[in-house]
């Protein structure tokens, strides 16, 4: 079985300096262009994908649609691929607004501490592990999973014990699962720790 994890492109929260996470922003024009480039590279992989699964957030759905249009594979929503809710009550606010309204929560966020309403690390880890089991049991030979940077980082850390240094906008990584082990086949815009 093969899984191609794809990160969405640049989204509105990136350019408006907002707390993203579960905030539901669209891709920017640059983000759409990034995904067109990624879709072209994905089609050049020569893989026959059975399905595209997407996070339910707009930026991921838009990215999945761009890929779908390029390779003619249908898209389904898969809730488990959602970004980590790292920002809690700060979600969607500009950093300036949040600093005025919730200064204590902003300080906690800066220190990587729990923010009210956010998803704890252990809950995210459990969600990713559950996603892994569900993906493997879907019966597909080859899946594209359109998701987010923290999901990809968590997957590689929790499932493959690999540290991801960077997941670029529109970055993707193809992995293969055989006999209880995963291996990386191709990576574009995703950097791993040596």
Catalytic machinery residues: 8, 83
Residues in the chain: 194
Q: Tokens 């649609």 label which residue?
A: 65
Burial class (CB in 10 A: 0-12, 13-18, 19+), 12: middle
Helix ranges (H only) for 44-77 are 58-71
Tokens of 70: 């390029």
Cα separation, 168 vs 160, whole angstroms? 19
The rounded distance, in Å, linking the Cα atoms of 173 and 183 is: 10
């Amino acid at each position: 079985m093969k899984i191609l994890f794809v990160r969405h492109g640049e989204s509105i929260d990136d350019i408006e300096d907002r707390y993203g996470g579960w905030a539901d922003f669209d891709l920017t024009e640059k983000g759409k262009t990034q995904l067109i480039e990624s879709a072209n590279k994905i089609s050049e992989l020569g893989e026959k994908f059975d399905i595209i699964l997407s996070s339910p957030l707009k930026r991921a759905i838009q990215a999945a649609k761009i890929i779908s249009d390029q390779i003619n594979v249908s898209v389904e929503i898969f809730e488990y691929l959602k970004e980590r809710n790292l920002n809690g009550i700060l979600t969607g606010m500009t950093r300036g607004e949040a600093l005025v309204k919730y200064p204590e929560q902003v300080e906690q966020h800066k220190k990587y501490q729990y923010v009210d309403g956010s998803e704890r690390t252990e809950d995210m880890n459990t969600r990713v592990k559950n996603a892994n089991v569900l993906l493997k049991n879907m019966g597909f030979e080859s899946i594209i999973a359109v998701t987010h940077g923290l999901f990809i980082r968590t997957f590689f850390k929790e499932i493959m014990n690999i540290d991801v240094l960077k997941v670029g906008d529109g970055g993707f990584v193809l992995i293969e699962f055989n006999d209880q082990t995963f291996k990386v086949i191709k990576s574009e815009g995703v950097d791993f720790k040596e």
